[in-house]
């Protein structure tokens, strides 16, 4: 993950990373949308300021939400 944004008007977090894909041909492909922010907030990483780059994540992208590729699952096996 290189950039994470939350903007009013979107239903979740906007996420940018290198090597992005747009498998379902959504209108826009420069961001992923993790709708339901609890998918990333749930482990407390944002709330406690622990840097994401120490923790590898796998994103599963499926479908489009608000014209953006939707992250439907987030997996990390290296949490302390």
Cα 75 to Cα 63: distance, rounded to the nearest angstrom: 18
pLDDT at residue 28, rounded to an integer? 93
Residue 46 is part of which domain span? 3-75
pLDDT at 7: 79
In a domain, 16, yes or no: yes
Question: Is residue 7 in some structural domain?
Answer: yes
- Structural domain includes residue 80: no
Tell me whether residue 32 is in a domain: yes
Please count the structural domains in the chain. 1
Whole-structure pTM value: 0.70
User: What's the average pLDDT block by block, 10 residues per block, for the chain (80 residues)?
Assistant: 78 85 93 68 44 68 93 74
Determine the pLDDT at residue 50: 46
């Amino acid at each position: 993950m290189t950039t994470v944004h939350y903007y009013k008007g979107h239903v979740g977090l906007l996420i940018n990373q290198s090597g992005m894909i747009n498998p379902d041909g959504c209108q826009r492909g420069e961001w992923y949308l993790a709708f339901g922010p609890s998918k990333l907030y749930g482990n407390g990483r944002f709330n406690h300021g622990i840097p994401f780059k120490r923790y590898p994540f796998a994103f599963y992208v499926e479908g489009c939400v608000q014209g953006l590729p939707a992250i439907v699952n987030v997996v990390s096996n290296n949490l302390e």
